[in-house]
């Protein structure tokens, strides 16, 4: 069984084409661009997926994992947890409607450049079992897909996922944190601050001032603009709901 598959996307509109086709030439169903397997490989218009079912089955065969999962499922079903200690204690988790022995997954992505000056990035798509203890969960994170390219395609169909500040802006269709109006929570424009007199090093700063807070109704009004930028009309209604990140905003000393 081949657990690694190449998934093609249209280089023009980034619509999913799917696995390699037998036909020499084919047409994108969304934008009607004429394509071929060879041209999509040459342009880097593809990503790699791995067999999630096989990897999860292999993971559950681990004695430590299966025992921990079973213990935590029993604890969840007892429903006597008062304090919020982990993902499974959250209100959003409780609305998933999971059955007695169902488990859930968290989806995570982050970009990695092979070289410091390179615009080419690898974007591993990672999953982890929410019902495992935190330490065991981190030890058993699984890579289910790998995106390679100069930019990250902004189609997403998961109801909830984890992303850093760079990936978050790519999915939301906003400018990055070091660009104008790059804050996901308010409409402060920010400004350039030069770090030296020779104008070689700069930072984009957001000074403390009164600003308009982003709201979901306002975000939805701008969907047409975001959709044209992202070439996708899925997921954007939920992409407004982004929590702050403790690591970057609190521990990184960006918040007092």
DSSP per-residue codes, 194-233:
ESSTTS--EEEE--S---PBP-HHHHHHTHHHHHHHHT--
Which sign, positive or negative, has the C-alpha torsion 20, 21, 26, 32? negative
**DSSP character at residue 55:** H
With CA atoms as reference, report the closest residue to 231 among 164, 158, 156: 156
Within the chain, which residues score under 70 in pLDDT? 1-2, 81-82, 111-120, 149-164, 167, 170-171, 223-256
Cβ atoms within 10 A of the Cβ of 232, count? Answer: 21
With CA atoms as reference, report the closest residue to 149 among 124, 176, 127: 124
With CA atoms as reference, report the closest residue to 124 among 134, 115, 113: 113
Give CA–CA dist 53/59, Å, rounded: 10
Q: How high is the pLDDT of residue 244?
A: 56
Which sign, positive or negative, has the C-alpha torsion 113, 107, 235, 221? negative
Residue 39: which residues within 8 A CB-CB, separation 6 or more?
11
Backbone phi, psi, residue 74, to 5°: -65, -40
Q: How high is the pLDDT of residue 132?
A: 96
Q: The whole model's pTM is what?
A: 0.61
Q: How high is the pLDDT of residue 255?
A: 46
Q: How high is the pLDDT of residue 232?
A: 47
């Amino acid at each position: 069984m081949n657990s690694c598959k190449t998934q093609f996307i249209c280089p023009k509109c980034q619509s999913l084409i799917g696995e390699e086709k037998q036909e020499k030439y084919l047409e994108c169903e969304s934008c009607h661009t004429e394509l071929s397997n060879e041209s999509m490989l040459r342009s880097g218009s593809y990503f790699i997926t791995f067999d999630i079912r096989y990897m999860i089955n292999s993971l559950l065969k681990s004695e430590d994992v299966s025992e921990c999962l079973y213990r935590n499922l029993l604890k969840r079903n007892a429903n006597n947890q008062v304090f919020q200690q982990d993902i499974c204690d959250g209100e959003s988790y409780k609305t998933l409607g999971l059955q007695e022995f169902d488990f859930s997954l968290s989806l995570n992505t982050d970009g990695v450049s092979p070289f410091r000056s390179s615009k080419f990035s690898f974007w591993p798509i990672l999953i982890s079992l929410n019902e495992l203890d935190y330490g065991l969960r981190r030890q058993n994170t699984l890579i289910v897909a790998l995106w390679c390219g100069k930019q990250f395609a902004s189609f997403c169909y998961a109801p909830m996922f984890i992303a850093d500040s760079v990936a978050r802006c790519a999915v939301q269709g906003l400018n990055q944190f070091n660009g104008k109006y790059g804050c996901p929570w308010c409409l402060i424009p920010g400004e350039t601050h030069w770090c030296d007199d020779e104008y070689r090093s700069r930072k984009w700063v957001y000074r403390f001032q009164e600003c308009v807070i982003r709201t979901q109704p306002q975000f939805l009004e701008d969907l047409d603009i975001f959709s044209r930028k992202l070439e996708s009309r899925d997921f954007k209604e939920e992409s407004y709901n982004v929590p702050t990140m403790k690591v970057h905003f609190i521990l990184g000393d960006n918040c007092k």
